[in-house]
Chain A
Amino acid sequence: MTVENASAAPRIWRKQPFIKNPLTRWGLYTAALIYLALAVSTVPVNWARVWEGLDRGWRFVQGFLVPDFTSRWGDILIGMQESLTMTVTSTVVGILISVPIGIGAARNIAPAPVYAICRGIITISRSFQEIIIAILFVAMFGFGPFAGFLTLSFATIGFLSKLLAEDIEDIDESQTEAIGATGGGWWQVVNYAIQPQVMPRLIGLSLYRLDINFRESAVIGIVGAGGIGATLNTAIDRYEYDTAGAILIVIILIVMVAEYSSGYVRKWVQ
């Protein structure tokens, strides 16, 4: 074992900084720090109100620690039922609409005009947050789970179509080429070369969306779109923090069940 270049001086090496010019680099860092300090200092904090609220917050935490499932159990049950119905129906309807739109929004297989239309639909669906859509639908169709169902279906379309389209754009083109080379038509290429490649991810995304829709159903209930959110809102309005705590625990349990079972299903479909 001999080191041949032992006499040569060691050459120092450092990772190149992201911004080469040291003046620009430190200037930018300082500017960012100053901006952050200024921005934080402009946020108005009413410390008296915070002090008052601490007490209320503490009662909320206490209610959460001593949840009361019994006194409003009937309301919780109805709210849950509504929420679950909303979640499942809107996810199914959302998937059914998303698949064709997602295929149309994949640049590598859709003709340009179809692509433009489908991307447009996705953009519209994604640019409005669920709450805003829920307020609109509640105004149009009245309070209750129907408005919630429409809201969640609408939101599902933007989410699933976009991710499905991106997945289709990422597929292995050689498989598409091979099916095309056998003389298969466009639909056959979709069915034989594309569907098998994106199916596991589509199933995974759908389960994930089911999860999101359930959580969202609790949120949009607060603006009147029915479900467990409405029950939760009522409980908080009545200062029944023990019941609110019970509702939150039920929501957490259901999300956990959805989480674990979807993880299991995803592993199974790979």
Chain B
Amino acid sequence: MLRVENLRKRYRTGDEALKGVSFSVPAGEVVGLIGPSGAGKSTLIRCVNRLVEPTDGNVFLNDLNITQLGRGDLKRARRRIGMIFQEFALVERLSVMENVLSGRLGYVSFWQSFTRRFPQADVDKAFALLERVGLSDHADKRADALSGGQRQRVGIARALEQDPELLLIDEPTASLDPKTSRQIMRLITEICRERNLPTIINIHDVPLAQAFVDRILGLQDGELVFDGPPSELTESVLTRIYGEEDWTTMRGDQDDGEDGRSARLIKEAPAELV
């Protein structure tokens, strides 16, 4: 169970990325967070594990108030929160196994991690996870030898190796082709339901989100403007989140006229800060 209360974030540049966001995610629910670039999606999930420090508000993981923790306690809390990244964020020159085992770093001493002597239980779990994501033959390959879809599977295994109580997923499919995207989304949602994990997925691809998540949050300029099941995501709701656009031709984005393009660029400008 994740509860976010009145979360605010103002960057030092003065940009207000989050303007008081509140919501909660019960165990086992997969939430898709949609919104235009620069709306604050990345900031929002990074405020949950405090990779970005929120300016104000509270984040509760079960009963633990994450926003109040000191450095040491924060590190212990981060162990319980798995994170999956857009560009996979694997350590490219380490092997697949080392990447997966890095999910245990919060649980082992520096010396154990330095010598790569992880407890047998951690190694067993890593092998089981690699099997679950379909990469059991690749344990000793270097991460940069894998394809995009395979790398994201390693990212998933690394997050699960933490035994997380919450999953934060930042644009998991943005660097993947359409088919791999669907496979990865399917894998993520299956695993979350198997493990009864509350999950937030930042996602740009609205139809993909609708196909896989239980609930959708729409973020627009730092504020939640929609919270409901995917079926309620109508054209008028999309307009409220993203602004005026001909949604019936959403797939034809590339043919946009000058106006549509410049309008989007203006929206994207603050994204640099996220």
B113 close to A188 (CB less than 8 A): yes
Task: Kindly list the 4 A-B residue pairs having the minimum CB-CB distance in the complex, ordered from nearest.
Answer: A183-B106, A184-B105, A183-B79, A178-B89
What count of chain B residues pass the 8 Å CB interface test? Answer: 30
Decide yes or no whether B214 CB sits under 8 A from chain A: no
Given contacts A181-B78, A196-B94, contact A174 B87 (CB under 8 A): yes
Contacts of A170 in B (CB 8 A): none
B51 close to A181 (CB less than 8 A): yes
Given A175-B90, A184-B105, A192-B98, 12 more pairs with CB closer than 8 A: A175-B89, A175-B92, A177-B85, A179-B91, A181-B51, A182-B78, A182-B102, A182-B158, A183-B75, A185-B75, A192-B102, A192-B113
- Contact for B85 among A174, A184, A192, CB less than 8 A: A174
Contacts of A182 in B (CB 8 A): 78-79, 83, 102-106, 158, 162
What count of chain A residues pass the 8 Å CB interface test? Answer: 20
Q: Scoring B residues 59 to 81 as 1 if CB is less than 8 Å from chain A, else 0, what string do you get? A: 00000000000000001111101
In the docked arrangement, what's the CA distance between A192 and B99, Å?
9
In the docked arrangement, what's the CA distance between A201 and B94, Å?
15
- Contact for B91 among A185, A187, A192, A200, CB less than 8 A: A192
Contacts of A193 in B (CB 8 A): 91
Decide yes or no whether A204 CB sits under 8 A from chain B: no
B102 close to A184 (CB less than 8 A): yes
In the docked arrangement, what's the CA distance between A160 and B49, Å?
36
- Listed in ascending order, the chain A residues whose CB lies under 8 Å from chain B are 174-175, 177-185, 187-188, 191-193, 196-197, 199-200
Contacts of A178 in B (CB 8 A): 83, 85, 89-91, 155, 158
Contacts of B155 in A (CB 8 A): 178
In the docked arrangement, what's the CA distance between A185 and B110, Å?
8
Q: Who on chain A is nearest to B110 by CB?
A: A187
Decide yes or no whether B261 CB sits under 8 A from chain A: no
B91 close to A181 (CB less than 8 A): no
Given contacts A183-B105, A184-B105, A196-B94, contact A177 B89 (CB under 8 A): yes
Main secondary structure of the interface of A (DSSP, over half): helix
Shortest CB distance B41–A (Å): 16
Interchain Cβ contacts under 8 Å between A and B, 14 examples = A175-B89, A175-B92, A178-B158, A181-B81, A182-B158, A183-B77, A183-B162, A184-B102, A185-B110, A187-B110, A188-B110, A188-B113, A192-B105, A193-B91
Contacts of A187 in B (CB 8 A): 110, 114
Q: Which of B92, B93, B113, B158 has the most CB of A within 10 A?
A: B93
Contacts of B75 in A (CB 8 A): 183-185
B83 close to A179 (CB less than 8 A): no
In the docked arrangement, what's the CA distance between A179 and B83, Å?
10
Q: Who on chain B is nearest to A198 by CB?
A: B93
Shortest CB distance A200–B (Å): 8
Q: Who on chain B is nearest to A200 by CB?
A: B93
Shortest CB distance A228–B (Å): 38
B158 close to A192 (CB less than 8 A): no
Contacts of A181 in B (CB 8 A): 49, 51, 78, 81, 83
- Contact for B105 among A177, A179, A200, CB less than 8 A: A179
Chain B contacts with A in 134-157, Cβ cutoff 8 A: 155
In the docked arrangement, what's the CA distance between A8 and B92, Å?
54
Q: Which of A178, A179, A187 has the most CB of B within 10 A?
A: A178
Contacts of B77 in A (CB 8 A): 183
In the docked arrangement, what's the CA distance between A200 and B85, Å?
25
In the docked arrangement, what's the CA distance between A196 and B143, Å?
12
In the docked arrangement, what's the CA distance between A195 and B170, Å?
25
Q: Which of A175, A177, A180, A196 has the most CB of B within 10 A?
A: A175
A191 close to B110 (CB less than 8 A): yes
Q: Who on chain A is nearest to B87 by CB?
A: A174
In the docked arrangement, what's the CA distance between A193 and B113, Å?
12
In the docked arrangement, what's the CA distance between A170 and B195, Å?
38
In the docked arrangement, what's the CA distance between A184 and B98, Å?
14
In the docked arrangement, what's the CA distance between A208 and B103, Å?
36
In the docked arrangement, what's the CA distance between A183 and B155, Å?
15
